[in-house]
Structure 1
Amino acid sequence: MADIPPRDADKAPAAAGDPVEIARALVPVLAERAARFDESDEFVAENYELLKEAGLVEAGVPRELGGGGAEVRTLAEMLRLMAHACSSTALAFSMHTHQVAIPAWRWSHQQVAAVEPLLRRVAAEKLILLSSGGSDWIGGSGKATKVEGGYRVSARKAFTSGANAGDLLMTGAVVETAEGPDAVIHFAAPMKASEVNIVETWRALGMRGTGSNDVVIDNLFVPDAGVSFTRRAGEWHPVFQIIATTAFPLIYAVYLGVAESARDIALDMAKKRHPSAALLDLAGRMETSLRGAQLAHRWMLDTVERNSPSAESVNDVMIGRALVAKHAIATVELAMELAGGAGFYRDNGLERRFRDIQGARFHPLQPGPQAQYAGALALGHSVAHIF
């Protein structure tokens, strides 16, 4: 196990090594800063510098391309540990992490050569990749107009976690067609382009340090060669099956970590009180709920490791996502009850976890579409347009 630095340490451990142990060594530093970022709505920029110095930006890049070669299960454990200390850092960094893990999987398992230059740049230049999340889900958003040699794109992408630290926004825009279904082009928008600007919108209930601001793209030229793939709007595409299967076990590792840390805080507080029947009941229900979240997340990771993205793998991951969210939220609610009135004080850190865990509700597939997707598969119907 890596040595734990002093609580006032401001230096990251050496870049080489296991990302899980590096994250473990960073936990005291991240924890020391978490309340300040939360209280000020300040983006966790200092923590991103630590992650860069520690070699975690390139952890998911295959070793052959200059990275750490970490697989999804290892990356998820890295994020879970971070979340114990600073939910916002872990969630924002999960967006970069999954944007690396997806092309890494395509390179390793599908031999897609087109993703290699991006992965090599992440490793060599420590590029931060951004995800515009729900803005670029199956329906697509923004407008792309075909022009000579490429497209002109205008769009507003909400919930862009880590926007202020990003180098490339992995995004898309809708191309309207008169003759049939609209198309969506996918591309990387350089964050330093004059046509790309950040609008400071992120003042939120929880996850306040993620810097999940809006990114506005105004008439950006995307050359034909810059389009990574094109698909139909509002319809599942094989690449999106890879995205959904790979990304959500990483994102929900963060919420699992938040629930676990809330449980730890509540137990420390409850141990100082008389073990009444009511106290034991609350503690037992909290433990049971947390175990449900842990088992569901393990199921998500097992699904990734089948290495067979499909409608079925999406279903399995999204069932896991629903169960992790349900049980993680319930765990934190029970932790608040177990802690009693003391849990209301900010200094104890529990109310921050209570706010942060609410984010688990909002990522796709949300409860209605997730249940419809699972039901359609169970009954043998198409899921192509359920999202």
Structure 2
Amino acid sequence: MKVKSLCWAVLWLLAACDKAPAPAESFAGLGSDAADFAQVVPGEVFSFPEDHGPHAGYRIEWWYVTANLKDAQGNQFGVQWTLFRNALKAGPTQPGWHDSTLWLGHAAVTSATRHYAAERFARGGVGQAGAQAAPFNAWIDDWNFASRPGVTGALNDMQLKAHGAQFAYDLRLTSQRPLVLQGDNGYSRKSDQGQASYYYSQPFFSAEGSVSIDGKTYQVSGPAWLDREWSSQPLSASQSGWDWFSLHLDRGAQLMLFRVRQTDGAPYLTGTWIDREGRTQTLHNGDIQLTPLHTTAIDGRQIPTRWSLKIPSKQLDITTEALNPNAWMNLSIPYWEGPVRFDGGVGYLEMTGY
């Protein structure tokens, strides 16, 4: 949502450059005031391909991709790719070194026995990192997520590339299904106090290509998921972190849901049920039963890596388990991110604030 997506947590490092200290009670400072930036309000009409590109008036946004992959022998892998944009101040973007935008990239590969992650940092305005709407391209250094040659507006034929010291991947992602607007036509609430993001997804990607781990290359394929979000204040001051799921069900449906944990009460819980045709139904707190069942000790933290998930109205009763419980993103801002599996499908889980 990575909520990667995160994936708000990792943006704290960039936001720290804003010289505005994060309040102790809000996770990563993302509950701090952002009055000078554009605000997320209901009723926004999305426009494509323009909204595939950056939104300069907003403080934060990200392009986030995950994939659940297998090779011919049945070995399972997970891949993550995320590009974050953070505006240090409100107002028009300035050229060159006067640009006040910072960029951060995260990439990871997970297998049942290995988990490798890497990050990149860049200053805006000098070409090292950025995003454009058409033809679509999002990049930081030589990591990129881009439309393949000849594709202009739609995100239906993409190439995804990244590498680190002990991993690499090069994947083609294709889909002829429609994009999915999360929440209320793309207006995604994150609290009962009104915090929200604009949020859309492409949960119907099919991926194929190569994944390399420790010098060995595997030919892989499987489902992939794109999340796009932008906001200026996505959390309330009392929210301490989140647990975010994107699930591919064998029956053809897709499911996104997240739980934002509160320091002063019950978590904020919501989601989207997406049928095989791309039609959506918003799920509310009363529709979802989400319970952590088992934790894994990682870096002095107890991380819930096995969950019970029930949605009675959809006849869904599953237990998700991490492919690799030690999928800890030990980066500048650490968090847990990795593939999960369950009887009837696969998916991804991201957990922050533990």
TM-score when scaled to structure 1? 0.28
Q: Which has more helix, going by share of residues? A: 1
Q: Which has more strand, going by share of residues? A: 2
Which is bigger in relative contact order (C-alpha 8 A, separation at least 6)? 2
Structure with bigger gyration radius: 1
